């Protein structure tokens, strides 16, 4: 079959479908560096790789499958008055609809973020579905467990050590799709990072430089480790994030916020509508953590504060002298700890670590959380290796072969990996839909570079 690859990025759709014997006849990618990378990875289609799809859609040839990991944009409200198509106008999904209207490929395969089903209270998915159905497609999307479905699809369901739940949509013009055309996988499957971690002697000098932790990051991990090591085995670690700023904190939070107290402390007769008034209030709150300066606290925040204060009171005698003072020297995000290893040994260097705005997150050494496209500060840390993951490890986590070309800088490389679709997940969906629903004999996936890299992962076998 002939397929097109829109918003192509690193070419995850291309790797998956080409590995099943299908042919790419057009690709579109807005980012110039990623277009160059795409051409280098797929030289056979280099002459058919274009930029902005809004300018290039006239070059789209006839095809059988449209693939796209399209951006999730809010849709216009005007469609309720002027027809469904107007709802998508001005968005990139509108460009997909325009191409489908002209070419009517038999299959549509789309991917988006995990919360797509609930975006804009479900309105976005409803509009996408109706627009596709209006063009004659039978449409199915993954359904959240909470919505009564089998849930989103993640690489770890198929043996890859990567938690990355994504929403997929398939459309077919050849008849009615089954209620659930997606591969099921095993949500309880145990994975391990040892399968993809590079041995020390395989790291290049560039790898060693790029993956090195800063001294401040090491000090932060060691500082939290110091607290964990002095706790008695009988002392439980909170299930909510540990907020270090709550140690010895006394500001009100149950019935009144510090903001409200500061407001009441203003001199009588002060004009509260004047900007200087609110500047005065904020100045009175500067010694508090930023999360405690809001006008009101939601229920969840009150619960976090309550549990933190109770826990710090419980462990107060075990906290080393001066520990709290040293903690205050770290940035706010490093003064928080998210422990997700209940019942495990209390040594942070044994786990996967991640510096997040919500704190230092700690997870078992079985898989990494989803790679984040918008920042490199959240690249996973391999605790036993005491370093960040390498570019090659990032490629394997997303199902790409080791020789797949990435953008030049580490920042651009991990941004692209964070935006990519997982190759093996797409391959499995395509096998279910393209080969079986089209009435074709299942096309064996050749033992190519992609599968060679995937074959050693638990449960992933070359077709």
In this predicted structure, what is the pLDDT of residue 288? 92
268 or 218: which leads in pLDDT: 218
In this predicted structure, what is the pLDDT of residue 110? 95
Domain CATH for 69: 3.40.50.150
Rounded Cα gap, residues 283 and 279, in angstroms:
6
On whether residue 413 sits in a domain, the answer given is no
On whether residue 98 sits in a domain, the answer given is yes
pLDDT digits (tens, 9 = 90+) for 187-225: 888 898 988 999 999 999 999 999 999 999 999 999 999
Rounded Cα gap, residues 438 and 173, in angstroms:
10
Burial of 2 (0-12, 13-18, 19+ CB in 10 A): middle
What range does the domain containing 107 cover?
Answer: 2-189+420-454
Q: Is the pLDDT of residue 134 over 50?
A: yes
Q: Is the pLDDT of residue 428 over 70?
A: yes
In this predicted structure, what is the pLDDT of residue 299? 95
Residue 29 banded pLDDT, cuts 50, 70, 90: very high
Q: Is the pLDDT of residue 83 over 70?
A: no
On whether residue 211 sits in a domain, the answer given is no
On whether residue 284 sits in a domain, the answer given is no
Tell me the average pLDDT across 6-35: 96
Q: Which of 195, 170, 174, 164 is nearest to 183 (CA)?
A: 170
Q: Is the pLDDT of residue 59 over 60?
A: yes
Q: Per residue, what are the HEC states of the chain?
A: CEEEEECCCCCHHHHHHHHCCCEEEEEECCCHHHHHHHHHHCHHHHHHEECCHHHHHHHCCCCCEEEECCCCCCCCCCHHHHCHHHHHCCCHHHHHHHHHHHHCCCEEEEEEEHHHHHHHHHHHHHHHHHHHHHCCCEEEECCCHHHCCCCCECHHHHCCCECCCEEEEEEECCCCCCCCCCCCCCCCCCCCHHHCCCCHHHCCHHHHHHCCCCHHHHHHHHHHHHHHHHCCCCCCCCCCCEEHHHCCCCCCCCCCCHHHHHHHCCCCCCCCCCHHHHHHHHHCCCCCCHHHCCCCCCHHHHHHHHHHHHHHHHHHHHCCCCHHHHHCCCCHHHHEEEECCCCCCCCHHHCEEEEECCEEEEECCCCECCCCCCCCCCCCEEHHHCEECCHHHHHHHCCCCCCCCCCCCHHHHHHHHHHCCCHHHHHHHHHHHHHHHCCCCCCCCCCCHHHHHHCCCCCCCCC
Residue 72 banded pLDDT, cuts 50, 70, 90: low
180 or 307: which leads in pLDDT: 307
In this predicted structure, what is the pLDDT of residue 445? 39
Lowest mean pLDDT, pick from 80-94, 200-214, 226-240: 80-94
Determine whether 341 is an active site residue.
no
In this predicted structure, what is the pLDDT of residue 456? 31
In this predicted structure, what is the pLDDT of residue 147? 79
Q: Is the pLDDT of residue 257 over 70?
A: yes
In this predicted structure, what is the pLDDT of residue 80? 40
Exactly one of 24, 72, 277, 341 is catalytic; name it. Answer: 72
Residue 341 banded pLDDT, cuts 50, 70, 90: very high
Q: Is the pLDDT of residue 463 over 90?
A: no
Tell me the average pLDDT across 324-348: 94
Q: Is the pLDDT of residue 447 over 70?
A: no
pTM for this predicted structure:
0.85
Percent of the chain with pLDDT over 70: 86
Residue 439 banded pLDDT, cuts 50, 70, 90: low
In this predicted structure, what is the pLDDT of residue 373? 65
On whether residue 69 sits in a domain, the answer given is yes
In this predicted structure, what is the pLDDT of residue 144? 85
Residue 17 banded pLDDT, cuts 50, 70, 90: very high
On whether residue 340 sits in a domain, the answer given is no
What total number of domains does the chain contain?
A: 1
pLDDT digits (tens, 9 = 90+) for 370-386: 887 667 778 999 999 99
Residue 265 banded pLDDT, cuts 50, 70, 90: confident
On whether residue 380 sits in a domain, the answer given is no
In this predicted structure, what is the pLDDT of residue 148? 78
Residue 429 banded pLDDT, cuts 50, 70, 90: very high
On whether residue 304 sits in a domain, the answer given is no
In this predicted structure, what is the pLDDT of residue 415? 93
Q: Is the pLDDT of residue 100 over 80?
A: yes
Token pair in block for residue 383: 């605790």
In this predicted structure, what is the pLDDT of residue 448? 40
- Per-chain mean pLDDT for the chain: 86
In this predicted structure, what is the pLDDT of residue 459? 36
């Amino acid at each position: 079959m002939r397929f097109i690859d829109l918003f192509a990025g690193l070419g995850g759709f291309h790797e998956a479908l080409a590995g099943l014997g299908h042919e790419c006849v057009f690709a579109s990618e807005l980012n110039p560096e990623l277009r160059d990378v795409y051409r280098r990875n797929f030289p056979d289609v280099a002459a058919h790789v274009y930029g902005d799809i809004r300018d290039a859609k006239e070059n789209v040839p006839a095809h059988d499958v449209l693939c796209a990991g399209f951006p999730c944009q809010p849709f216009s409200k005007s469609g309720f008055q002027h027809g469904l198509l107007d709802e998508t106008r001005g968005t990139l999904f509108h460009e997909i609809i325009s191409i489908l209207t002209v070419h009517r490929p038999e299959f549509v395969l789309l991917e988006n973020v995990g919360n797509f089903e609930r975006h804009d209270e479900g309105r976005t998915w409803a509009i996408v579905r109706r627009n596709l159905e209006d063009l004659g497609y039978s449409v199915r999307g993954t359904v959240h467990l909470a919505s009564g479905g089998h849930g989103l699809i993640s690489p770890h369901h198929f043996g890859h050590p990567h938690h990355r739940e994504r929403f997929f949509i398939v459309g077919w013009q050849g008849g009615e799709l089954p209620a659930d055309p997606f591969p099921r996988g095993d949500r309880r499957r145990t994975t391990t990072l040892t399968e993809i971690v590079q041995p020390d002697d395989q790291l290049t000098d560039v790898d060693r430089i790029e993956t090195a932790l800063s001294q401040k990051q090491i000090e932060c991990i060691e500082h939290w480790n110091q607290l964990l090591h002095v706790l008695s085995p009988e002392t439980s670690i909170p299930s909510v994030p540990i907020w270090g700023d709550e140690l010895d904190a006394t500001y009100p939070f149950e019935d009144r916020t510090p903001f409200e107290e500061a407001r009441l402390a203003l001199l009588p007769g002060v004009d509260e509508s004047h900007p200087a008034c609110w500047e005065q209030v904020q100045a009175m709150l500067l010694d508090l953590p930023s999360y405690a300066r809001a006008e009101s606290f939601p229920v969840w925040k009150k619960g976090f504060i309550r549990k933190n204060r109770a826990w710090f009171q419980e462990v107060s005698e075990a906290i080393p002298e001066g520990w709290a003072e040293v903690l205050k020297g770290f940035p706010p995000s490093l003064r928080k700890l998210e422990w997700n290893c209940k019942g495990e040994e209390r040594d942070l260097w044994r786990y996967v670590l991640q510096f997040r705005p919500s704190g230092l997150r700690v997870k078992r050494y079985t898989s990494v959380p989803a790679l984040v496209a918008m920042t490199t500060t959240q690249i996973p840390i391999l605790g036993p290796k005491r370093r960040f993951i390498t570019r090659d490890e990032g490629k394997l986590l997303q199902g790409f072969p080791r020789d797949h070309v990435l953008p030049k800088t580490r920042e651009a490389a991990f941004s692209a990996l964070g935006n990519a679709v997982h190759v093996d997940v797409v391959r499995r969906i395509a096998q279910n839909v393209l080969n079986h629903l089209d009435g074709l004999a299942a096309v064996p996936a050749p033992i190519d570079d992609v599968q060679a890299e995937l074959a050693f992962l638990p449960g992933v076998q070359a077709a």
